[in-house]
Amino acid sequence: MPAGAAGRILAFGRARVGREPEYSNIASSVGVAQYGAIAAEVTAVLARQGRERILDWGAGWGQLALLLRSRGFAVVAYDVEDKGAGDGLLAGAGVPYVVAPGPRLPFADGEFDAVLNCGVLEHVDDVAGALAELSRVLRPGGWVFTYHLPNRDAWTEWLGRRLGRFHHERTYARREAVHLFEAAGFEVLRCRPFHLLPRNVWGRSPALARLAGLVWRPYERLDRALVRVPGFRRVATAWALVARRPV
């Protein structure tokens, strides 16, 4: 991870998690590392193409937009509600922060080389309409990177339902995830299990956050190994999907 951007995100999350628990996903090194890995994957794909303009669709607090900006990309952060990213993580970062209600995106046709979304689609009412808009603002041959699309068979979803705790109302089998994008006209290049080990819990207490600072590297390596094991792959928490708009 770029140390400066990652450190800024971590400090931001730690300063807020005591008041608002939903910041726990960026309040530990384990939590921030997942976003660093996403930024690295997006960079590896786009650097080979010589492309650089990215829309962070559903940007939240702006953590991914900041990481990608630190890697030299021109990034626009977009959300349907103002989550304070303009005055928070993205302040002074050179990342425009656009807030508009949707579903129509306030961008021109073919404006972006890539669109990134992380934990967004499962919360959208009109998924087909949203994907049509993403296709519209992408140039022909542009990329869509989707992360944290909930897996129907995830052990976390099963446990959340069983305990009456957090779980997603909308989840997807792998074939359904792929079909979403193919039905919208995208070419799906890969759809893989994404994460088995939990990330958010590490930021929920100062003691766990300190421990995360020591173990995040082996934790990431273990997680990458586990999702390659057939039995574990089936119950991974989510899907990571890469697709392209046809030329």
- Whether 195 and 34 have beta carbons less than 8 Å apart is answered as yes
pLDDT at 19: 87
Q: Give the whole-angstrom CA distance, residue 9 versus residue 64.
A: 9
Query: What integer pLDDT is reported at residue 3 of this predicted model?
Result: 62
The model's pLDDT over 211-243, given as tens digits with 9 standing for 90+, comes to 999 999 999 999 999 999 999 999 999 999 999
| pLDDT over 90 (residue 55) | yes
Asked whether the predicted pLDDT for residue 1 surpasses 50, the reply is no
Arithmetic mean of pLDDT, 182-202? 96
d(Cα 176, Cα 201) in Å, to the nearest integer?
28
Q: What's the average model confidence in pLDDT over 133-161?
A: 96
Tokens of 111: 């404006």
At 165, the pLDDT band (50, 70, 90 cuts) reads: confident
pLDDT at 22 over 70: yes
Which residues have a Cβ under 8 Å from the Cβ of 219 and sit 6 or more positions away?
A: 30, 33, 197, 212
Greatest Cα-to-Cα distance within the chain, rounded to the nearest angstrom: 50
Range of the domain at 143: 3-244
Using pLDDT thresholds of 50, 70 and 90, give the confidence band for residue 166: confident
- Measured N-to-C along each axis, helices 63-70 and 29-49 cross at an angle, to the nearest 10 degrees, of 50
Confidence at residue 2, expressed as pLDDT on a 0 to 100 scale: 46
Mean pLDDT computed over 85-109: 94
Q: For residue 217, what is the domain's CATH number? A: 3.40.50.150
Burial of 151 (0-12, 13-18, 19+ CB in 10 A): buried
Rounded Cα gap, residues 217 and 20, in angstroms: 26
Per the prediction, the chain carries an average pLDDT of 94
Across 112-121, 124-133, 161-170, least confident range: 161-170
How many structural domains does the chain have?
A: 1
CB-CB contact of 24 with 13 (8 Å): yes
